[in-house]
Structure 1
Amino acid sequence: MPLTSMWEAAAAPGAGPALLAWARAAAPPGPYLRREFFTAPGDRVLVLTWWPSADDAVELPSPPEELTRREVHRWRFTSVAVEEP
């Protein structure tokens, strides 16, 4: 069953662009199905990665401490429904 991995980090003051660049460079290689990078107010960076199964999922590591202002948050989700408009 496919698994979605969510990784979210809050950047240290002024480090938002550097944290996003780090996340893009540090993201593990496939066999992911899809990966998206997001930014949000407060210099937060979010990475969602869809994996074929929980066995295939590889976690994005924690960034260098100087790039963040708190611990990284990680969650794993399993889809229960997809609804198209």
Structure 2
Amino acid sequence: MTVALMWEARAAEGRGADLLAWVRAQRLAGEPLRRETFRAPQDRVLVVTWWDAPYDAPLPELPEPDPELVTRAVHRWRFESVADG
């Protein structure tokens, strides 16, 4: 089964580049199948990692950034892949 973990944060005013650099520097305790980093208006940063694991498996996640770097707590979601059709 493939599990996708999503991590999304909104940077504090004027700190979008700092948040993006911070998230790119973060290493995980394990190696995902794939990892992608995205940015969006309002200085939002999104990281999606894909893992070959059961849905409820304990998986390494990105930590919370320093409070002065973000406007709110990080949002996190977990998804499992489903067959098309």
Give, in whole Å, the separation in 1 of the partners of 2:31 and 2:78: 16
Distance 1:11 1:78, change over 3 A: same
Gaps of 5+ in 2: none
Deviations 1:48-71 (A, max 9, x none): 000111436211100000100011
* CA displacement at 1:26 relative to structure 2: 1.4
Which position in structure 1 is the counterpart of 2:33? 33
Percentage of matched positions with identical amino acids: 57
Query: RMSD in angstroms over aligned alpha carbons?
Result: 1.6
- Give the count of matched residue pairs: 83
Distance 1:27 1:12 in 2: 22
Using a 3 Å threshold, how does the CA distance of structure 1 residues 82 and 27 change in structure 2: closer, same or farther?
farther
For 2:80, the equivalent position in structure 1 comes to: 78
Counterpart of 2:71 (choices 58, 69, 85) is 69
Aligned counterpart for 1:59 among listed residues 58, 61, 77 = 61
State TM-score, norm by structure 1.
Answer: 0.88
What TM-score comes out, normalization by structure 2 length? 0.88
Partner of 1:50: 50
Structure 1 residues without counterparts, runs of 5 or longer: none
CA distance, structure 2, for counterparts of residue 56 and residue 82 of structure 1: 26
